[in-house]
Amino acid sequence: MSFDINNAGPGVSDFILLKDLSEDGLLENMKKRWEDGFIYTYIGNVIVSVNPYKPVNLYSKDIIEIYRTNDTRDLPPHIYSLADVTLRTMKYESQDQCIIISGESGSGKTEASKLIMEYIATIAGKNSRQITVEHVKDQLLNSNPVLEAFGNAKTVRNDNSSRFGKYMDLQFDSNGNPSGGKINTYLLEKSRVVTQQQNERNFHIFYQLLNGAEPELREHLQLKESAKYYKYLNETADDVDDANINKDSLNNIINTMNSIGISEKDQLSLLEGIAAILHLGNINFELVESGTTTPGSKITNMEEVEMAAELLGIDSNALATALISRSINDYAGRSKKAIIVPLDVEKAEFSRDALAKALYSYLFDFLIQKVNDQINSESDDNQKCVIGVLDIYGFEIFEKNSFEQLIINTCNEKLHQHFINYTLISEREEYKRAGYTWDTNFYFSNQLERSKEMFQLIESKDKGIFALLDEECLMPVPSTTSFLNKLDHYHINHKYYDSCKKTRSRRVNKTRSKSFSNGTRQRRSIKAPMLVANNTHESEVITHEVFWLKHYAGEVDYSIDDFVEKNNDTLHSDLVLLYNLLKRKLSEI
């Protein structure tokens, strides 16, 4: 499809003009427009976009110029229109603005944020310090490939799924000209570093490093070429070597880091950290029977410890000791005495994985800080207004939903509540301006009440799901069974909560979205086997370590077999000392 200024597409270009406001009517209008290549539709001052899953000729400097020089109300719906209205409102009203991009995984949120930034950076002029549009645009937009390399991964729904939330401030001076930006990140899915769901992958940077490292760099990092040699990469897919990542991808990332001013030393430190994580994951342990009641463990491949320690700049013996034991201070008597407690294989593996996740999280934060150092202008006294762009995880429903999905979906509940509040207030103001009396809108009222009850269930400080999980993690021997029993005890009668104990006989119908190579979307229904009286299923056994939440976007079953482990993601004191040493070494670069 090519862009036509005089063609707003089939159906209605603004849903508020639709006569049939039922769900079927909305979907039919959206489908009709999408099939003709019109992926954007307004809802008043909100814009709905549908991922075309194919290249479209809707984005160019010429089209940007059309939206810059014309009244956007006379033009077809477009993401550029939203960006233009936001920028003009900021300039004319001298008020900060915010754009919230929300949608399910794979719906195109990250691409939408790029297009918004590209439009704003392109149409704004030079500022008082003669920082050109191209410079600001390069600094803001060139950071995206680097952030995607370290923060995106392949999932079952999206080959380039953002596994972190991003809020970017686009900063402007008192004349309304761009002066820089600042990136804040949220909810990095660091558990992905050590484990992924079936047919998913780790973060892109691991594969890019293995596929694209030059011989000299590979030798320095002591890496092999294939992902099949690394535990953190080879346990969830048959074809672990991603053919879609070519050997030039790492060079492209390095060139991009050069272009935004990240030094070669910083770049090497980041890659050394990534390689060290791969070596950490390959450290193996075996059980050692001791004379005490507490079994210990030993490392069977010290060469991996030595390679990781060398890359991190720490002592290999100190690292090995911290992985297989922990020290407890005994304050009995007149002096403090350290007691060494051996760790069994399971606890040693937990320590290894916890260190790997903490290290990756710090490397990601380190990267964000380096990017912000190059683009941030907050210290500029002339900096006046900002446009915030929020790009965060979409609502997620997978075959197996875990702790990450609960956090992500809770965030989307928050966004949904914000949208309802915003819409409600806007409607009230519209009624007042028109001189009409506002009667309570039952849909909005019900939605707000639903959100209030849902957040009480999840976030209540004493008996909410998160509070009960924290409480369980403080137990001497925390367990998922005990956690689920607590949930059932306090929330068994909550209308948005369900569990096997609450419903002994149920059939769960899940609806999933499946993407096809031709860009179409097909709905498929998956029926879970019925739970019968003897606690078995007709065709397969499904663990009872599951609870259901009835979110605004649908019912989600959460498997809690690793909730405690993921929430109790802490380093014992000896690893904390090593971790702080690593942070100091990086901060000194």
What's the CA gap between 520 and 533, in Å, rounded? Answer: 41
347 is in an annotated binding site: no
- In the residue annotation, 93 being an active-site residue is answered as no
Active-site residue, selected from the candidate residues 394, 404, 412, 472: 394
Q: Beta 521-527 vs 296-299: how paired, if at all? A: unpaired
How far is Cα 109 from Cα 102, in angstroms, rounded to an integer?
7
The answer to whether the CB of 279 falls within 8 A of the CB of 304 is yes
End-to-end CA distance of the chain: 50
Compute how many other C-beta atoms are within 10 angstroms of the C-beta atom of residue 165: 18
| 182, β-bridge pairs | 169
Transcribe 24-81 into DSSP letters. Answer: HHHHHHHHHHHHTT--EEEETTEEEE---SS--B--SHHHHHHHHHS-GGGS---HHH
Q: Which of 113, 162, 325, 480 is catalytic?
A: 162
The pair of three-digit structure tokens given for residue 93, joined into one six-digit string: 């009203």
3-state secondary structure of 174: coil
Is residue 259 annotated as a catalytic residue, yes or no? Answer: no
User: How far is residue 182's CA from residue 194's CA, in Å, rounded to a whole number?
Assistant: 29
Q: What are 580's two structure tokens?
A: 């702080």
In DSSP notation, 542-585 reads --S-EEEEEETTEEEEEE-TTHHHHHT----HHHHHHHHHHHHH
**Is the Cβ–Cβ distance between 162 and 391 less than 8 Å?**
yes
Active site (annotated) includes residue 161: yes
Question: Is 587 marked within a binding site?
Answer: no
The CB density around residue 352, as the number of other CB atoms within 10 Å, is 26
Report DSSP state, residue 517: T
Query: 244: which 2 tokens?
Result: 């879609």
Catalytic residue among 106, 212, 273, 281: 106
Q: CA 534 from chain center: how many Å?
A: 39
Is 105 labelled a binding residue? yes
3-state class of 505 per DSSP? Answer: coil
Range list of β-strands (E), 467-539: 497-499, 509-515, 521-527
Does residue 108 have a known ligand-binding role?
yes
For residue 113, indicate whether it is catalytic.
Answer: no
Residue with tokens 């791969």: 278
Residue type, 292: T
How far out from the chain centre does Cα 320 lie?
32
Is 290 among the catalytic positions?
no
DSSP lists the bridge partners of residue 548 as: 498, 557
- 430: annotated active-site residue: no
Q: 149 and 253 in contact (C-beta within 8 Å)?
A: yes
Contacts of residue 425, Cβ cutoff 8 Å, sequence gap at least 6: none
Q: Is 263 annotated as a binding residue?
A: no
Q: What is the 3-state secondary structure (H, E, C) of 520-538?
A: CEEEEEEECCCECCCCCEC
Please identify which of the residues 81, 143, 152, 158 carries the catalytic annotation: 158
Of the candidates 29, 102, 110, 351, the residue annotated as catalytic is 110
Q: Per the annotation, does 104 bind a ligand?
A: yes
Q: Positive or negative, the Cα torsion across 550, 552, 554, 556?
A: negative
Whether residue 225 lies in the annotated active site:
no
Do 324 and 333 meet the contact criterion of CB atoms below 8 Å apart? no
Look at phi and psi of residue 287 and say left if phi exceeds 0, alpha if psi is from -120 to 50, else beta. Answer: beta
Active site residue 118: no
CA distance 44 to 15: 8
Q: Considering the candidates 144, 161, 297, 451, report the single residue annotated as catalytic.
A: 161
Q: Which residue among 189, 200, 304, 396 is the active-site one? A: 396
Q: In what order do the strands lie in the sheet with 383-391?
A: 97-101, 383-391, 165-173, 178-186
Q: Is 107 annotated as a binding residue?
A: yes
> What secondary structure letter does DSSP report for 15?
G
The residues annotated as belonging to the active site are: 105-106, 110, 158, 161-162, 394, 396
Question: Which residues define the annotated binding site?
Answer: 103-110
Question: Which residues define the annotated binding site for ATP?
Answer: 103-110
